[in-house]
Amino acid sequence: MEETLNKNIKTEISVKNLNLHYGEFHALKNITMDIPEHEITALIGPSGCGKSTFMKTLNRMNDLEQGVKIDGTVLLDGVDIYKTMDAIELRKRVGMVFQQPNPFPKSIFENVVYGPRINGIRNKEKLMEICERSLKQAAIWDELKDRLNKSALGLSGGQQQRLCIARTLAVEPEVILMDEPTSALDPISTGKIEELAMQLKKDYTIVIVTHNMQQATRISDNTAFFLLGEMVEYGKTDDVFANPKDERTERYITGRFG
């Protein structure tokens, strides 16, 4: 794997000269960055600057949209995800948690084991093991272990989001993408998700889109600042916030625009 922000840290995802067009609109402009494994990388910037669009290129969610043209290279563990990797295989390895919790209208148990079932696991005992492991990793087993057959739709917003994280973990991805996972949650639930993300980075690589700069400083190791489809600055979070190299980054993080 290639070297990245720090010579001793392995790169999980390497992006080179990535451009994305929606029809005539140039939405991502020549993005090059290495995302290190077992760290949290935050993507910040004003609305419409390309953060979520960029994140979706990492698991080819943009493939599902009309009129999208992508060029450049995205490597996962050195393999080109656009040229040589099957999209279904990719999405097993790169899971995604969305802004709004989106549990299925099924039981808590069926939500968690949905992915493993699709991947052919039928054994009830094995599915139960996966359910317990995933809910424990998502720090919600104790709250839900006596309610596994109840509908997931009866949970609070914060619980639903942790359930969705458990559902993502059940297929054992390498990378977890989180698109503003706490924007719909109250401060206590937000704190739990942040704590969870920091625990999960021991086993997973995490990329998080956030509008909340305090959140980026609290939980991320690296921060990329996006503006109008460009990645203006990328570095260690402490450096980006304490000593930004680009004037536009400084203006954004000090609240002078955005």
pLDDT tens-digit readout, 140-165: 999 999 999 999 999 999 999 999 99
Cα distance between residue 210 and residue 256, in whole Å: 18
Which pLDDT score is estimated for 9? 58
Domains in the chain, CATH or no CATH each: 2-253 (3.40.50.300)
At 207, list the tokens.
Answer: 């990329």
Which pLDDT score is estimated for 3? 35
- Which residues make Cβ contacts (< 8 Å) with residue 132, sequence separation at least 6? 141, 145
Cα distance between residue 149 and residue 46, in whole Å: 41
Which pLDDT score is estimated for 255? 87
Instruction: Decide: 213 and 203 in contact? Cβ < 8 Å.
Output: no
Instruction: Decide: 189 and 202 in contact? Cβ < 8 Å.
Output: no
204 CB neighbour count, 10 Å cutoff: 21
Q: What is the pLDDT of residues 96-137, one digit of tens each?
A: 999 999 999 999 999 999 999 999 999 999 999 999 999 999
Q: What is the pLDDT of residues 225-258, one digit of tens each?
A: 999 999 999 999 999 999 999 999 999 999 887 5
Where residue 96 falls (left for φ over 0; alpha for ψ -120 to 50; beta otherwise) is beta
Q: What angle do CA 33, 232, 67 make, to 5 degrees?
A: 70
Which pLDDT score is estimated for 8? 52
Q: What is the pLDDT of residues 70-89, one digit of tens each?
A: 999 999 999 999 999 999 89
- Band (4; pLDDT cuts 50, 70, 90): very low
- Band (214; pLDDT cuts 50, 70, 90): very high
- DSSP label at residue 202: T
Percentage of residues in the chain having pLDDT higher than 70: 96
200 CB neighbour count, 10 Å cutoff: 21
Q: What is the pLDDT of residues 165-212, one digit of tens each?
A: 999 999 999 999 999 999 989 999 999 999 999 999 999 999 999 999
Cα–Cα distances in angstroms (integers) from residue 2 to residues 10, 33, 93, 123, 213, in the given order: 7, 11, 19, 39, 29
Cα four-point dihedral sign 116, 121, 122, 125: negative
